[in-house]
């Protein structure tokens, strides 16, 4: 006589539902914490905000980089999509201008965004693919605006990180007192990019120099230092 089969259990599906719920809570908590305080928020603080144990957080995201990449994946996709949409604009200058304004607005809304742009995540394939897509489209956007005679000929891709660093400084200085000041800065920068306003500029920094500058600024902001010190 064979033994009856054990009754079906719902533990498997239930555990998967619980795990997904925890994942969503962790990502939501990390997104808010990174936007408010930057990406160096203690993992314990994120676990507390999410209402989960630290062990649960580390089982899902073994390293801070894993959590950062997962948290900013949708933001990086939005970044890449913004470049693609700008490239589709029939007016090359309008597309370039809208892209710069949109990325600076993303930066204004999320303190961690600029930091993430200086980081690489080799295991986050989608994240890195979106980054590469955004960069390629930005190069095409710049070339198209120049070819149309709208963007100054000496604009280089390294100027965009420089804009973001300048914007970060204004955001940090005016966040409490005049949080919309960054829009005026971006307006000035865009006017300076337009051909009618173009005047000779000093040589631009190299890609390596601007990357090191971004890393230095990021580290100083993490440590609570003034980048000008």
Q: What is the CATH number of the domain that holds 16?
A: 1.10.10.60
For residue range 13-69, list pLDDT tens digits in order: 665 888 899 999 999 999 999 988 888 899 999 999 999 999 999 999 999 999 999
52 and 90 together in one domain? no
The answer to whether 127 and 134 have CB atoms below 8 angstroms apart is no
Domain residues for 47?
12-62
State how far the Cα of 152 lies from the Cα of 160, in Å rounded to an integer: 14
State how far the Cα of 114 lies from the Cα of 38, in Å rounded to an integer: 9
pLDDT higher for 169 or 215?
169
State how far the Cα of 64 lies from the Cα of 43, in Å rounded to an integer: 8
Choosing from 23, 47, 62, the residue where a domain stops is 62
90 and 201 together in one domain? yes
What mean pLDDT comes out for the span 181-193?
Answer: 94
- Res. 218 pLDDT band, cuts 50 70 90: low
Q: Is the pTM for the entire model greater than 0.75?
A: yes
Is pLDDT of 3 > 80?
no
């Amino acid at each position: 006589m064979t033994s009856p089969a054990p009754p079906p259990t719902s533990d498997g599906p239930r555990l998967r539902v619980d795990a997904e719920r925890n994942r969503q809570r962790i990502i939501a908590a990390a997104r808010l914490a990174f936007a408010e305080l930057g990406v160096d928020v203690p993992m314990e603080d994120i676990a507390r905000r999410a209402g989960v144990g630290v062990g649960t957080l580390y089982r899902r995201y073994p390293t801070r980089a894993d959590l950062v990449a997962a948290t900013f994946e949708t933001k990086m996709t939005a970044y890449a999509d913004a470049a693609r949409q700008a490239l589709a604009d029939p007016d090359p200058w309008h597309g370039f201008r809208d892209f710069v304004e949109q990325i600076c607005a993303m930066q204004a809304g999320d303190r961690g965004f600029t930091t993430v742009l200086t980081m690489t995540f080799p295991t986050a394939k989608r994240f890195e693919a979106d980054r590469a897509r955004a960069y390629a489209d930005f190069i095409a956007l710049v070339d198209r605006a120049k070819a149309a005679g709208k963007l100054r000929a000496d604009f280089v891709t390294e100027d965009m990180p420089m804009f973001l660093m300048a914007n970060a400084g204004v955001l940090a200085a005016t966040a409490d007192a005049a949080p919309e000041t960054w829009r005026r800065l971006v307006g000035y920068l865009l006017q300076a990019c337009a051909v009618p306003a173009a005047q000779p500029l000093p040589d631009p920094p190299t890609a390596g120099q601007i990357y090191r500058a971004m890393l230095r600024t990021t580290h100083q902001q993490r440590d609570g230092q003034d980048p000008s010190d």
